[in-house]
A and B are shown apart, each in its own frame.
Chain A
Amino acid sequence: MAGQSAAIIESKDAYFSYSGDGEPSPALSGINFSVKRGEYVALIGPNGSGKTTLLKLFNALLIPSNGEVLVKGISTTEEDKLPEVRRSCGMIFQNPDNQLVATTVEEDLAFGLENLALPVSVIRKRVKATAALLGLEMLLKQPPHLLSGGEKQRVAIAGVLAMEPDCILMDEPTAMLDPAGRHSVLNTVHALNRNRGIAVIHVTHFPEEAALAGRVLALNEGRVVADGAAKKVLTDLDLLHKIGLQGTTAGELAALLRLGGCPLPSHILNNRELVDNICTLAQNN
């Protein structure tokens, strides 16, 4: 089961309704997909499309009303295995202020481990190693509320990482951060994915962030409407526009320029690709 291609998360025809009165349709309807070890999946979709609800199903904070969600082969309905499910799929939320609980960074990193009832020596070792990995050594004695937003998010990620998860679930982790904080968080998570093979599911409204993922999954009205390589899903501007989303700035501008008669390729996703292609065209003129 632990092979390279083993699924960490499987969603089998999962439905979810917030049993509210007068609600026309469930928040999620018939979600089928799986995430493999080491994959980086960006989860996109308009406001209210079900992204947060789906992450909560993967973390067993919610249980599907129909269908099934499996984490490393364990159904999220198996209550005695919930600690293992939550350990292997840690969650990072949008607001860095709401997820740090302790009075110092060090205690915060140890918090989850203490709940696993690990020996003190193991806890110390893991806290040290995780802090080193994320460049937080200098901050260990600091109270979390004095850190910048980007630092707080990195501490939250470190807290999840110390649990040695197989997958990190992130719900708009950079939404509240300034550009510098955003960079540091994105670099951190991509490095963990690349170097440690930790799978990532990353909910974002920024096409530029989704473009960095290997795979992009788009939700609309509780259903999966696209699932494929970032290059494929994010350059399908017709589809994105139809569900109220947009491509990257570079991709959208390339499409406008094509309409204006510039023969630019249709796979352009980032600024560098756009600038290179425009300069090549200008030279050939």
Chain B
Amino acid sequence: MYIGTEQLTHTYMPGTPFATKALQDITFSLQQGCFALIIGPSGSGKSTLIQHLNGLLKPTAGRVFFAGQSIGSDKQALLGLRKKIGLVFQMPEEQFFAETVYDEIAFAPRNQGLTENEVEERVNNAFEKTGLQSASLLKRHPFQLSAGQKRLVAIAAVLSLNPEVLILDEPTVALDLDSRDHLFNLLAQLNQEEGLTIIISTHHLDHVAALADTALVLKQGQLMLAGSLDEVFSRRKALYEMGLSLPAVTEIMHSLAERGLPVSTCVYTMQKAKQEILAAKKRG
């Protein structure tokens, strides 16, 4: 009961001919320290839900809670909340406004009233954590970056806040696979060692499935499935019918099992797949 929603409904442009019900009667709660995935086809309401978790949208009905309190419209409470919950938007460009990459990452710590020395330490720390290499990037305008570099800077700008909950809306878009793995390893470390709660929406389940413990599945604004990752991923047919897919390595295990090889299908890493296949070969 750390962060979640109760009968949350959201309608965009209510009372107009364009009214869109983006979320309908969504109820769930996540535990502190969990690593949760939000999955669903495009338009299913993932980004809308994520913005509610950060108090950026107001519920049409129902409520959102965090640490035992409703996220209401009290401005002071909201400001406090945003210091604890860091959100990386789906489009990194949408959050850039500073003149340099450095100032972009320095914005949150400066707002917390840290000294310029402390700010610098936070910036360098956050920049390094994302795996960005060349320090000359810090002097550039955020728009003068490649697509993947923009994404990583957006993530650094939220890490520098030292949040308690980290929410990332489709964070792997535009990342090369090594940067993706680097990011996921960083998130796993923040989750396991520093106890951060991590919530990610994504279409790309490879690798992240090995780190997550919980999954929520949305379709057309409704919560279709929720539970442990194994529970949700075992509903392969239901996921297919929603136009979703499993991690590539899990797919391979399903195909092998269908061809009669005695392997488990709850497999989300290459190493586990290798063990399963080698063991099955010996037995078979």
Q: Which of chain A's residues have a CB closer than 8 A to the CB of B193?
A: none
**A160-175, CB under 8 A of B: which get 1 and which 0?**
0000000000001001
Tell me, yes or no, whether A257 is within 8 Å of chain B by CB: yes
Closest chain-B Cβ to A79's Cβ sits at a distance in Å of 25
Contact assessment for A246 and B278 in the assembled complex, using a CB-CB cutoff below 8 Å: no
Query: Quick check: B278 and A22 within 8 Å, CB to CB?
Result: no
Contact of A47 among B140, B148, B249, B274 (CB under 8 A): B148
Task: Say which residue of A48, A178, A279 sits within 8 Å of B243 (CB atoms).
Answer: A178
- In the complex, which residue of chain A has the Cβ closest to the Cβ of B46? A178
Determine if A48 and B252 form an interchain contact, defined as CB atoms under 8 angstroms apart: no
Contacts of B144 in A (CB 8 A): 18, 20
**Assembled-state Cα–Cα distance A52/B149 (Å):** 13
For residue A46, which residues in chain B have a CB less than 8 angstroms away from its CB?
148, 176, 178-179
Interface SS of A by simple majority: loop
Chain A residues with CB under 8 Å of B284's CB are 282, 285
User: Out of B147, B203, B270, B278, which one reaches A178, CB within 8 Å?
Assistant: B203
B235-259 vs A, Cβ < 8 Å mask (1 yes, 0 no): 0000000011100110110011001
Residues of A within 8 A of B140 (CB): 20
B107 to chain A, nearest CB (A): 22
Residue pair B174, A205 in contact (C-beta under 8 Å): yes
Contacts A48-B149, A285-B281; is A179 near B243 (CB within 8 Å)?
A: yes
A250–B252 CB distance below 8 A: yes
A25 CB, nearest partner CB in chain B, Å: 10
Q: B-facing mask of A255-285, CB < 8 A → 1, else 0?
A: 0110011100000000110110011011001
Q: A20-B140, A279-B261 are in contact. Are A256 and B178 (CB under 8 A)?
A: no
Complex: how many Å from CA A207 to CA B178?
Answer: 12
A15–B145 alpha-carbon span in the complex (Å): 18
Query: Would A22 and B41 count as touching, CB distance under 8 A?
Result: no
Q: How far is the CB of B51 from chain A (nearest CB, A)?
A: 17
- CB atoms of A271 and B255 under 8 A apart: yes
User: How many Å lie between the Cα of A253 and that of B276 in the bound state?
Assistant: 12
- Judging by beta carbons under 8 Å apart, are A179 and B245 in contact? yes
A180 within 8 A of B: yes
In the complex, A232 Cα to B137 Cα: how many Å?
34
| Closest Cβ–Cβ distance, residue A21 to chain B (whole Å) | 8
Given A20-B140, A179-B203, check contact A275 B270 (CB 8 Å).
no
A24 adjacent to chain B (CB < 8 Å): yes
Q: How far is the CB of A279 from chain B (nearest CB, A)?
A: 5
Residues on B with C-beta less than 8 A from A178 are 40-42, 203, 243-244
- B177 pairs with A245, CB closer than 8 A: yes
Task: Give B266 Cβ to nearest chain A Cβ, in Å.
Answer: 16
Q: 1/0 per residue A224-263: CB within 8 Å of B?
A: 0000000000000000000011101110110011001110
- Contact partner of B252 (CB less than 8 A), chosen from A52, A95, A275, is A275
User: Are A278 and B136 closer than 8 Å at their CB atoms?
Assistant: no
Assess the B274–A256 pair: CB atoms within 8 A.
yes
Of the four ranges (under 10, 10 to 19, 20 to 34, 35 or more), the interface on chain B belongs to 35 or more
Interface string of A94-122 (1 = CB under 8 A from B): 11000000000000000000000000000
Set A23, A47, A207: member contacting B147, Cβ < 8 A: A47
- In the complex, what residues of A have CB within 8 A of residue B251's CB? 271
| Bound form: Cα–Cα A85–B159 in Å | 44
Contact A180 B41 (CB under 8 A): yes
Pair B136/A24 contact, Cβ less than 8 Å: yes
- Chain B, residues 158-188, CB within 8 Å of chain A (1/0): the string is 0000000000001001111111100000000
Q: Write the nearest CB–CB distance from A253 to chain B, whole angstroms.
A: 6
Q: Which residues of the other chain, A, contact B148 by a CB distance below 8 angstroms?
A: 46-48
For window 168-191 of A, CB contacts with B under 8 Å fall at 172, 175-182
- Chain A residues with Cβ below 8 Å from B146 are 47-48, 52
Interface membership of A148, Cβ < 8 A: yes
Which one of B91, B149, B174, B271 has the greatest number of beta carbons of chain A within 10 Å?
Answer: B174
Known: A178-B244, A249-B252, A285-B284. A275 touches B259 (CB 8 A): yes
A150 near B: Cβ within 8 Å? Answer: yes
B255 in complex: contacting residue of A205, A257, A275, CB < 8 Å = A275
6 contacts between A and B (CB under 8 A): A148-B41, A175-B173, A245-B177, A246-B178, A275-B255, A285-B281
- Beyond A22-B136, A176-B170, A244-B176, 15 additional pairs, beta carbon < 8 A: A21-B139, A45-B176, A47-B148, A94-B173, A149-B42, A175-B173, A176-B173, A179-B203, A179-B243, A181-B42, A244-B178, A249-B252, A253-B270, A271-B255, A282-B284
> Which residues from chain B sit less than 8 Å from chain A, CB to CB?
40-43, 91, 134, 136, 139-140, 144-149, 152, 170, 173-180, 203, 206, 243-245, 248-249, 251-252, 255-256, 259-261, 270-271, 273-274, 277-278, 280-281, 284
The 5 closest A-B pairs by CB, nearest first: A47-B148, A180-B243, A249-B248, A244-B178, A246-B177
